[in-house]
Structure 1
């Protein structure tokens, strides 16, 4: 499904600005390897453009970290969340075993990350043995501290969201279809996601969340503050195995399966090599994450539940949590279950990977509730690198990209006004315009590498820029020189089809 630019803001756009959540100092500690994560994607169906958006945003920050400190190791974790009732039912619908089903779909998500030219260092699957070991290790550690107990759990359960909701988190609506006898039918849905929920009572294991108080700074999102303003209830962390068999068995109780959200959150620890068998291994681990990128619909798990689990394990909390928006079609959240999705593979095939990456960063890269207007057209070239650096440190991806494009537009206006090709233009002016244009392209080419790595690399290649002079430190004004320029190279072809 391809949409024209004129309908872009009406039909396909990110809604609800994302927000930066700070657990600790936002400064980047260069003494530790840089670790950033995407949420692991739920492979109950094929990927859509929203998954690509998450990957691209995280990849931009990953590439920026490498660009800023080339000598510092960077670990970029992504992958698939493969357990749970929804996967179990999707596999049954296709007459496949859950593992076979996950093998097929998970491969598509890995293909997406590769096709988008993302620089991930590990693609994790929760069906892997090392993850099973990490989950059961966490369970035993919490159990040994008296933080897990068995009890009766009652609540509104959503198969789609794979979680329970309290009375305060649901609402009752009239079904548009009505009951078979013509009377009005009531449905109960989650306020947060709109998913249908049903009342469920079952015996399972619980985590003593009520013992922990996770403190967040003033800029916390309103719904997180609302949750924290109420007493925290203990959380269900298992499901009876006769209802859910596709998952990790609870240690010492084969009649229960570890709840999928508890299982999934631990993947970030697995990706950092947890459990660490020695103090030296722990010291050299990537943990904690410097940045976690998530969708706004799962922020509750990452901003409340996961920090409480880490506190219970005496582990450091993630440094920053970036909650991004969702993409919508006709003002409805893009959803695999609804079917209103845009095929990311088709978009990249038709338009080119870097063009799609550029679009996603430019349109979906704002993460502030109150969008700040950029500076006027006057960012001098000598300060561009520091401006981009400042924006990306604050995770203002769209603003960083706009600063670069703004500089390129300013250079274009300069060329148009001075007309260096005209016979009556002084030779000295022509030389200055030529030199400044090349310097603009050199600096912008370096700074564009995190956003459109293939095209930026091609630009630097045709300008003869050495690969040893493409780090952030080389994006300073007159920091290095242009080599032998190859003329006539076209980086982009004119797009005849409608863009996303």
Structure 2
């Protein structure tokens, strides 16, 4: 139940008594080239990182690395960070007996270390406790307030400390354990969020509100005109259904200072603290320097709007409805795409400290290697639609697959026996091999030549598992061709050995270039061994035939 106290001053918004014609601005204006901008969700550092945090980081890193290879002359901005305000932090710090900032410093550092350990190439690590971010939050608040979009009102609703947000009656349900329990009139029935399963409690307080209700039509129009704005499709359909079938209620954007002291103070009212989700969502702007003195010209150069926002499916509403409404109010272009991935589970159960089933990303990378874990996260988790079970046995299986198809293949084609035979063979060019249409080597070269375009198509659809599978398919074919020809056999002609070797080196070069976004350490080691210099590792180079340089056989794993 929401009782609204409308402000006394009349702004442009209130004088019209009608919703303004909010619109999504075009991103095509200006001749300056826009930087490519990708973001992860900013992580809540009330506990140490788990495998789900690494998943989001790796997914965004794969996209960032691909874009750098695709267009080396264009800047790529990659934001990660930590969301350090809110009641959970306040309580966790109190339980530890330390100040909130000290607590955040310690835990936030773990997320930085995780990114570095996993070879994540973020260019910005933004903390919401920074002065830069605080200035952005204050500026945006004042702009929205000046438009009459923020007002003070009494709010009553279901509040989740875990999710740091209010829910309406329609968004909560009795907790599963209590739905079949005998009724007890003296004890309220425990309630949970339908979307996240987090416990909620009834709360009533005086807060500042944002007029989200004024943006339903403009947001619906945006999504209707941009069917690819949310991936996968099921989440796009969910958001459109909400906008089509349910009125948007105004949302709380502050909490009384008496309940929440750890956060940004509401400008002009020190008795209230800016609500953590309003604060946190603005990190994507503060990370690229908003407000921009040079307007959207500077904003484009800094990367706005976001090209891809990588988020977990549980925070879709905040990024697909709340943030776009703020952006429309500020007359800023909306994010181009939201990639809402599923979650990693353990034995089909959500990871939880209380259950003791949290997969440690540091332990996984230490045991299996950074690239193997990245490979597994992308190959198994890169389909987005359904939750994926973290499995040590499956991780081992995929580790063996990559080591066999890539590592063992490279060792086989650079073995001493094969190289000894090769020394007596006449050199053979890629063009000569391709011209022999009856040779399996020609078939392999054709597959290698088209690999980068196929992988690029998958990247453009944000289908990372599919992209990686195309590379693996090429390596499977390469291994089959090598086994069928058997160049190490005593009766294999030296010219055939030469053709097989040249084809293998070209296949490995192309595969190495295409693997760079996924497994940067192994791909770099392979390309070094193939004598491919840095300038020749771009996506464009993967589509061009290149004769092998001075190859050094090395162990890749």
TM-score of the superposition, structure 1-length normalised?
0.88
Bigger RCO of structures 1 and 2 (CA < 8 A, at least 6 apart): 1
Matched, 1:114 2:131: no
Q: How does 1:90-109 map to 2 (within 5 A)?
A: 90-109=92-111
Match in the other structure for 1:49: 51
Matched, 1:351 2:368: yes
Q: CA deviation at 1:66?
A: 0.2
Q: CA deviation at 1:227?
A: 2.4
Query: CA separation in 1, counterparts of 2:26 and 2:471?
Result: 28
Residue number among 157, 162, 165 corresponding to 1:163 in the alignment: 165
What secondary structure does 1:254 align onto?
A: strand
Query: CA separation in 2, counterparts of 1:24 and 1:382?
Result: 40
Match in the other structure for 1:200: 203
Q: CA deviation at 1:448?
A: 0.5
Choose 1 or 2 for highest CA Rg: 2
Question: What do the CA deviations read for 1:223-279 (whole angstroms, capped 9, x no partner)?
Answer: 323422200000100000000000000000000000000000000000111011233
Residue number among 129, 148, 151 corresponding to 2:150 in the alignment: 148
Matched, 1:484 2:556: no
Match in the other structure for 1:318: 335
Match in the other structure for 2:405: none
Q: How does 1:464-475 map to 2 (within 5 A)?
A: 464-475=531-542
2:327–2:334 contact (8 Å) kept in structure 1: yes
**Unpaired runs of at least 5, structure 2:** 1-23, 228-232, 387-442
1:242–1:255 contact (8 Å) kept in structure 2: yes
Q: CA deviation at 1:423?
A: 1.8
Q: How does 1:422-433 map to 2 (within 5 A)?
A: 422-433=489-500
Distance 1:182 1:311, change over 3 A: closer
Match in the other structure for 2:270: 254
Matched, 1:408 2:411: no
Which structure has more helix as a fraction of its residues?
A: 2
Question: What do the CA deviations read for 1:135-186 (whole angstroms, capped 9, x no partner)?
Answer: 000000000000000001111000010000111110013646979x999973
What secondary structure does 1:197 align onto?
A: strand
Query: CA separation in 2, counterparts of 1:127 and 1:339?
Result: 30
Let me know the Cα RMSD of the aligned residues: 2.4
Residue number among 36, 39, 50 corresponding to 2:38 in the alignment: 36
Distance 1:184 1:135, change over 3 A: closer
Match in the other structure for 1:242: 258
Match in the other structure for 2:487: 420
Query: CA separation in 2, counterparts of 1:251 and 1:158?
Result: 25
Matched, 1:227 2:242: yes
Distance 1:283 1:118, change over 3 A: closer
Question: What do the CA deviations read for 1:450-491 (whole angstroms, capped 9, x no partner)?
Answer: 10101100000011111110000110141x23211112x111
TM-score of the superposition, structure 2-length normalised?
0.79
Question: What do the CA deviations read for 1:84-120 (whole angstroms, capped 9, x no partner)?
Answer: 0011001111011111100000000000000000100
Query: CA separation in 2, counterparts of 1:191 and 1:402?
Result: 35
Match in the other structure for 1:293: 310
What secondary structure does 1:221 align onto?
A: helix
Match in the other structure for 1:17: none
Residue number among 415, 435, 447 corresponding to 1:380 in the alignment: 447
1:178–1:184 contact (8 Å) kept in structure 2: no
